[in-house]
Amino acid sequence: MLPNTQSGPRPELFSMLIVSDSGPTPESMEHLGEAVEQVLELAQDMGGIMEYCHGVGVKLNHLLAREMGMGQEVVQAIKQALDPNNIMNPGKLAL
């Protein structure tokens, strides 16, 4: 928890939509990716989680391990038992 913050009810959902009048450019997309990472890491630091309704996706896959902690080892063990040849969705769920 951040210093000088009060405990109590927290928002259940935070969502953002970022638009640009000039459209996406390689530079703006890079900056957007960095901003998304920073917001998600801050949310995780504050006890929040990423949305799974639409899936984490390949781009945010690396943040899943940070969020799941040791739970990821359990998921990896289950995945290995069910799919020893790694043919089902390889590279998904940070596995």
Distance from C-alpha of 64 to C-alpha of 50, rounded to nearest angstrom: 8
11 falls within a domain: no
- What confidence score (pLDDT) does residue 95 get? 61
Tokens of 22: 């000039």
2 falls within a domain: no
Which residue range forms the structural domain that includes residue 53? 26-94
DSSP element (H, E) containing 93 = none
Q: What predicted TM-score, i.e. pTM, was given to this entire model? A: 0.62
15 falls within a domain: no
- What confidence score (pLDDT) does residue 62 get? 80
Instruction: Answer yes or no: is pLDDT of 72 > 70.
Output: yes
Say if residues 72 and 39 touch (Cβ distance below 8 Å): no
How many domains are there within the chain?
1
Express each pLDDT in 57-67 by its tens digit: 777 788 888 88
38 falls within a domain: yes
62 falls within a domain: yes
| CB-count exposure of residue 43 (10 Å: 0-12, 13-18, 19+) | middle
Q: What is the mean pLDDT of residues 52-61?
A: 72
Query: In the chain, what percentage of residues exceed pLDDT 70?
Result: 80
Express each pLDDT in 8-45 by its tens digit: 666 677 777 777 788 888 998 898 889 888 988 888 88
8 falls within a domain: no
